[in-house]
Chains A and B, each alone.
Chain A
Amino acid sequence: MRLVRKTLFCVALFGLAGALPLCAQMSPLLPSQKAPLSDRVVAYQIEANYHPKNHSLDAQETLTWTNYTGQPQDRLPFHLYLNAFQPKSTFMREAFEEGNRDVPVGAEWEEKKFGADVIKSFEVVGMGDLTGRLRFIHPDDDNNYDQTVMEVQLPRPVAPKEKVTFKIAFHDQFPEVVARSGYKRGFLLAGQWFPKIGVWWKNAWNCHQYHATTEFFADFGTFDVKLTLPSNFNVGASGVQTGETANADGTKTLVFRAEDIHDFAWTADPNTKIVEDAVTISSGTVKLRLLMQPGHMASAPRYLDALKGTMKKFDEWIGPYPYSQVTVVDPPHGGWAAGGMEYPTFITAGTAWWAFQGMKDPEGVVEHEFGHQHWYGMVATNEFEDAWLDEGINQYTECKIMDALYGRGTDVLNTRVATTSERGLDHIEYIGVAELDPITRRGWQYLNSRSYGGITYGKTALALLTLEHIIGEQKVREAQHVYFERYRFKHPSADDFMNTVNEVAGQNLDWYWNQAVRGTQVLDYRILSAGNDRADWADKNAPEKEKKGQTEYLSSVVVHRRGDFIFPVTLEVKFDNGEALREQWDGQDRWHRFTWRKKAQLISAEIDPEHAILLDRDRFNNSWLRDPDRHAAGKIAGYWMLLTQWFAQLLGWLA
């Protein structure tokens, strides 16, 4: 609380002294960075006028695109993402059939969820008005009603390395917030709000329709955005604010500049309170700007602590953050669909007035979304086709960083009653869908949104945690660092990531990638049987009574590979004389029997004693105890009994 009060005081002082000149001097990149950091394929200049009364805007976009494709181009695709929020769109159809984060299966269409991105005019400088040449295409399905991708046929091709400038007038109608875009009361999150050109990738245009589970893909460039809106609105946006003008009609125009990013989002809300702070990392001092809901101010220090801790860990483990600012948006109550989303230099978080300290959700969301600055923001993978490269790798780093910041095992929930861990939640998500889809499946081709989530996030994180067991935690971290350095401000593919890991590990891990990433094999090892038999069982003169330390036993454990995933495993066995042994098995056969002849009895056996093979679907069957431990079952049955008694009391109260 002290930090927030102090920061608010500083903000007020800045306001009094005139913060605008300071803003105007601010660069979107840290001074340590040598611009340009990327190819800057695109340069967007947008002037938008927001009408809060009907949640719409009118804008003029000037897009300059440089043809780095190496060949002449006369057909160019554009995303019109907001058109997804229409009843017959592919997004809504998929969401209706299979559900997604925001739309439950079978949900009824609500008119307030309508969104649109309408092109009013489309001119290509030097080629004239081509509005009449626009047509909607649907490269992923046969849905003629989907209007999330349009294509323009140019009268003449754009030559390699030639620049072409588009002047596009458009009108946006925002939906009540859904899938990271829209309004809630006075709040607006403007994400995917402008016509955005597709990406030339793998020698073809890559411009997918907006699907219920997919995210986005775009080229790097610069953004100069002027937003005009009522003067009482507080605004946050990608990049930095470089100017502000008060208009005579009670509105103001804010100017933003962003460089070497591939998307631009902004938010406006008359109610938010602004909290500012800074963190110093290896690349310089980064300004942290929080736009908080008034009822959520208690979460501001938590957001800041999580953000600072995360930024330092990323700086230490993965690579530097090159931008001068991070903006964090706290969505309002009822606007959770705007929360937990990443845009370059701009993320949305999520909390509630009742978010108690032991519940690490606010911290986890900030960690995750900031992680996307690296895995998506800079290493700009194709979120349509390789969702695991951003969401999955990011989920893995979330596990590592949340473990480091909040303790392994308690980094989701830390109360006296119960605890929950990041990796535990990932495991839960994964086990229900383990064999349904491979990680490398295109985002919209998963069986359903549950499988998409469980595989893309959960399985990928667990696969990389399990990889630590093969090549070591340090090597995985090093591989991530090399991958980041090599592919930041580029569009790497799945093979780029796996080849980088192979290279850093100094070994060909294709046996693992083929099963864990490209395949749907399930990993499940179990103790099939275990026990002790007297070695002198056939000796008629052997004493009947067993003597500890003198009687010899033949002990055995059979380890069974239940799934198709072949993985080398370690077996740890313990004997009643205190001896512990570790045995290795390559896991190739279906089962393997280990035997020992000792003057001691086997008391326990455990596969994967380090608990490092997190892809193992069933971890209850990984061990065996000679003497049953009834505590866990007794505890659960005991609570079951109590809950039943209370339920009976409740019913009995009616008598």
Chain B
Amino acid sequence: MKRPIRDGFGLVWRHQRLVWWIFFVNLVLGFFAAIGPSVLLRPVLDKSLYATQLSQHFDTSVFSELLSKPEVPLAPSLAGSGAVGVIFLFYMVFISGGILGVYREDRKLTRAEFFHSSGEFLWRMVRLLLCSIIPFGIVIALMARVGIVSSKMAADAPWEMQGFWVQVAGYVVCLVLALFVRAWFDVAQASTVIDGARGMFKLSFRTFVLALRNFHRLLFIYLTTTFVCVIVTVASGALWLNIPHQSFGRSWLLLEVVTLVMVAVRLWQRAATVLWYENYAESHPAPVPVAPGLPPWLEAVEVAAAKEVPPSPGEGGGSAI
């Protein structure tokens, strides 16, 4: 049995090329998104002494003044940044199969193998993404509701901080729910790659039950990894506050390190989930034929899955449930 958090970190560390590669793409996309604002700002700022109000320190009113200038229409650049975000999302969807393939095999895949794995699972990943929109949407709607309720409480409740604490508690619940949804679909992705599962809607339902039954174990993995990310971010934030405004290069480097850590932590979650799922599959060999008494829909899925997934070398194979 592997320990998902520790061994998952080992997987990420051994295959850190993936981290660097994703970070690089993220960096390049960010760079392209920043070209627009840079082109707009340079004619206004590069030859102006007044711009030192933004470089030597950061005066928010001067920044607002800059944004109010008709020569600096930043709205299109905002749209560009939004587009970059969407591109990155699809990029991540695309390489998900490859990433999980690397973590399943725990070996360096050739470029052809990596992209073959990515391509093989692409549409299933897309379908899982579409399935995840509903629960993520519910979490986002819940967050919005928490915001509305807590704002109203902040104004109307007899105790002034009631709204704040309701907001904190509500957001913590939303965070846990979001982590659960993420874990649920990470398990589904792992199942897809490890078991070669098909029928994503049914798989989503099946992995929901699985994630729910193992809620505490999965949550522990996701909370631990998230906590590491938060610690690094907070520590970096504290460091960042001590960097003088004039030394923007140092600030930028530090914050890029935070970005790198974010990428690594996300892959750590995925690697840990793959390991957890492998452990689970080992300890819960698939009952073939399906034990009587299970619901008919589950029977159908499992039979289908068991038929389609060839056993891996050295493993019993078969689907997880």
Contact = CB atoms under 8 A, between A and B. Distances in A.
Contacts of B252: 638, 642
B30 A652 contact: no
A437 to B, nearest CB: 18
Given A418-B60, A421-B59, A651-B88, A644 B65 contact: no
A649 B37 CA distance: 20
B81 interface: yes
A354 B255 CA distance: 27
B84 A633 contact: no
A43 to B, nearest CB: 40
A432 B30 contact: no
A58 to B, nearest CB: 27
Interface string B38-78: 10011011111111101101111111111011000000010
Contacts of A477: none
Given A416-B241, A428-B68, A623-B49, A295 B61 contact: no
Nearest to A646: B259
Interface in B297-317: none
Contacts of B91: 652
A508 interface: no
A638 B34 contact: yes
Contact of A636 (B41, B64, B154, B241): B41
How large, as a class, is the contact surface on chain B? 35 or more
A424 B61 contact: yes
Nearest to A621: B48
Contacts of B266: 649, 652-653
A353 interface: yes
A633 B42 contact: yes
B11 to A, nearest CB: 18
Contacts of A628: 42, 46-47
Interface string A304-343: 0000000000000000000000000000111000000000
Contact of B262 (A418, A649, A654): A649
Contact of A622 (B50, B60, B136): B50
A312 to B, nearest CB: 27
A424 B62 contact: yes
A295 B159 CA distance: 9
Contacts of B92: 652, 655
A640 B161 CA distance: 34
A624 B51 CA distance: 11
A636 B54 contact: yes
Interface in A610-634: 618-625, 628-634
A519 interface: no
Q: Which of A409, A624, A637 neighbours the largest number of chain B CB atoms within 10 Å of its CB?
A: A637
Contact of B47 (A185, A432, A619, A623): A623
Interface of B is mostly: helix
B48 A648 contact: no
How large, as a class, is the contact surface on chain A? 35 or more
B26 interface: yes
A97 B97 CA distance: 55
B24 to A, nearest CB: 11
A413 B60 contact: yes
Contacts of A648: 26, 29-30, 84-85, 87-89
A655 B121 CA distance: 13
A431 interface: yes
A620 B45 contact: yes
Interface in A537-558: none
A431 B26 CA distance: 38
Contact of B160 (A332, A417, A418, A635): A332
A231 interface: no
Interface string B209-253: 000000000000000000000000000000001100110100110
B37 A640 contact: yes
Q: Which of A624, A629, A638, A648 neighbours the largest number of chain B CB atoms within 10 Å of its CB?
A: A648
Contacts of A653: 182, 266
Nearest to A530: B47
Interface string B129-143: 100100010000000
22 contacts: A295-B161, A353-B160, A353-B161, A419-B58, A606-B49, A620-B48, A621-B48, A631-B51, A632-B46, A635-B54, A635-B245, A637-B35, A637-B41, A638-B251, A641-B33, A641-B34, A644-B30, A648-B84, A649-B88, A651-B89, A654-B132, A655-B93
